[in-house]
Amino acid sequence: MKFRKKMRRAPEFDSIPEGLEPQEEENLSLTSDLSQNEQVFGSIFHGNTDIIYRHIRKDGEVRWLVIYFSSLVDEKAMNDHIIAPLVAASTQKEEGTSQSDEMWDENLISIGKTMTSRQVSEIIRYLLNGHAAIFAKGTHTALVAQISGIAKRSLEESSSEPVIRGPKDGFIENIYTNIGLIRNRLKTSRLKMESMIIGELTQTNVVITYITGLASEEMIDSVISKLAQSQTDGILESGYIEEFIEEYSFSPFPQVNTTERPDVVVAALLDGKIAILVDTTPFVLIVPMTFWGGMQASEDFYNRKPIATFVRWIRFFFITIAIFAPPLYVAITTYHQEMIPTNLVLSIASSREDVPFPALIEALFTEIVFEALREAGIRLPKQLGSAISIIGALVIGQAAVEAGIISAPVVIIVSITGIAAFTIPRYSFANGIRLLRFPMLILAGTLGLYGIVLGFVGIVIHVMSLRSFGVPYFSPIFPFTWKSLKRLVMRQPKIKKPRPN
């Protein structure tokens, strides 16, 4: 991985600083005095009980100093590959009287990834990322070894994107494991990984990955530029990054796709898109995103073409149900009863005979209660969440109908609408669709079908004006591209490349 942020060389300090400020750390570099170096780091990390200062003596004097955080490193690997070799070297007799400018030898440390540094701020960053710093008497540089041992969970299926057919592994909170899952699927030197550090306090590792020759250079520069301008104290989840790089923060439609599945990321990279991995979170960001990309699931490309095409059309149909079913019910029953067949209008009228509220208030109340039950089901423990949401919906719905607070047709319409929203595979995209129902309901309750038409036109204009890193959000319909439209309407068969002679 290539670091975009380069560190500048800092001048050495002449006296022991006390109570160092973060700005002062940038202006310090190591000296050849071990005790002075130890006091500097002791002043910086004062009050931390998990930092270890290990002294290794030779001929009665401290020759090596090892600093590390016991909570961030693998203790067994530390003892076997760093402490033990240095202790063994301390017992060996020196041949000759020549003094080397460096009192340690990199060959003593049997760790795969090591680097040297003399800048205090850089060593601090390494220590806080699970590295060990080795200082030797008479040297101005420290040897830093990657020996992190942070606990991480095992690979398991994504809970937010389950599939019947497809890979069952999902990303975890460790960024290096996630990078390995991608590289395991893309065994090419054209796959590039560029790393950045974002967050003044969290120092979160963010990796931008793409395939050279497929991803646009202009788009790559745009992503890196927006990330470089992300000034914040901390990054706790990829949602922070998503908000920084989005162009239209107040739009209900997300312009950045999110996924927990490595196969989805690899498919996006093969399409020339860019993925952004953030340490400590399993959710990976993919840019650019389009409206129709939010309607596609990875399983579409693993099933046979007729089945995948049928399921895709089911989603297209139900997204219209999710947005327009409650508004149409409110508009027609309030202003346009003549559009309903006589038997049906009599049935609806009889069911609403004892309801004291107009159709708009009735539908809004039911929608809000449905959303509350859905949110409660998510927040409760898994053993209780599904039971509470299902039983709560049945009990409350039945009781409200019997009490005459709401009518049975509204319960049916809201239930169908909720099911329709669940067919959308991308969670963030489905949230935007859920949000649109409420302004559409208000327009339908105040202006009838004219309000629905105005709302629909407003949605179309808004979607056509959106762009995700220069890509029109409603493409390939606007601007129109026939070749891409065919791929949207029907899942196209795989193209077999001829085998080279």
Task: Say if residue 306 is in the same domain as residue 264.
Answer: no
Task: Say if residue 119 is in the same domain as residue 47.
Answer: yes
CA distances from 452 to 75, 243, 368, 376, 421 (A): 64, 30, 20, 30, 19
Task: Say if residue 197 is in the same domain as residue 242.
Answer: yes
Helix or strand run (H / E) with residue 137 = none
Task: Say if residue 363 is in the same domain as residue 418.
Answer: yes
Among residues 289, 313, 346, the one where a domain terminates is 289
pLDDT at 496: 61
Task: Say if residue 417 is in the same domain as residue 446.
Answer: yes
Averaged over 281-298, what is the pLDDT?
92
pLDDT at 171: 94
Task: Say if residue 34 is in the same domain as residue 133.
Answer: yes
Among residues 234, 260, 289, the one where a domain terminates is 289
Task: Say if residue 336 is in the same domain as residue 447.
Answer: yes
Task: Say if residue 139 is in the same domain as residue 251.
Answer: no
Residue 411 and residue 401 in contact, taking contact as beta carbons nearer than 8 Å: yes
**Which tokens go with 384?**
């209780």
Mean pLDDT is lowest, of 119-123, 153-157, 472-476, for 153-157
| pLDDT above 70 (res 132) | yes
Task: Say if residue 281 is in the same domain as residue 346.
Answer: no
Instruction: State how many domains the chain has.
Output: 3
Q: Which domain holds residue 8?
A: 2-91+102-146
Q: Does the residue 222 lie in any domain?
A: yes
Among residues 260, 289, 318, the one where a domain terminates is 289
Averaged over 380-394, what is the pLDDT?
70
Residue 199 and residue 213 in contact, taking contact as beta carbons nearer than 8 Å: no
pLDDT in tens, 183-229: 999 999 999 999 999 998 888 999 999 999 999 999 999 999 999 98
When pLDDT is cut at 50, 70 and 90, the band that residue 500 belongs to is low
CA distances from 309 to 47, 163, 489 (A): 61, 17, 7
Q: Does the residue 125 lie in any domain?
A: yes
| pLDDT above 70 (res 230) | yes
Give the predicted TM-score (pTM) of the model.
Answer: 0.84
| pLDDT above 90 (res 364) | yes
The whole-angstrom separation of Cα 180 and Cα 186 is: 10
The whole-angstrom separation of Cα 499 and Cα 142 is: 52
Q: Does the residue 124 lie in any domain?
A: yes
Nearest to 63 by CA among 95, 97, 104, 94: 104
pLDDT at 14: 41
pLDDT at 298: 84
Q: Does the residue 496 lie in any domain?
A: no
Q: What are phi and psi of 100, to 5 degrees?
A: -80, 150
Task: Say if residue 311 is in the same domain as residue 391.
Answer: yes
Task: Say if residue 283 is in the same domain as residue 305.
Answer: no
The average confidence (pLDDT) of the chain is 85
Task: Say if residue 134 is in the same domain as residue 10.
Answer: yes
Q: Centre a 10 Å sphere on the Cβ of residue 415 and count the other Cβ atoms it contains.
A: 14
With the C-alpha atoms ordered 170, 175, 177, 178, is the resulting torsion angle positive or negative? positive
Nearest to 44 by CA among 65, 71, 24, 72: 24
Relative orientation angle of helices 305-335 and 408-422, to the nearest 10 degrees: 150
Q: Does the residue 58 lie in any domain?
A: yes
The whole-angstrom separation of Cα 29 and Cα 250 is: 45
Q: Does the residue 494 lie in any domain?
A: no
Q: Does the residue 152 lie in any domain?
A: no
Helix or strand run (H / E) with residue 136 = strand 131-136
| pLDDT above 90 (res 457) | yes
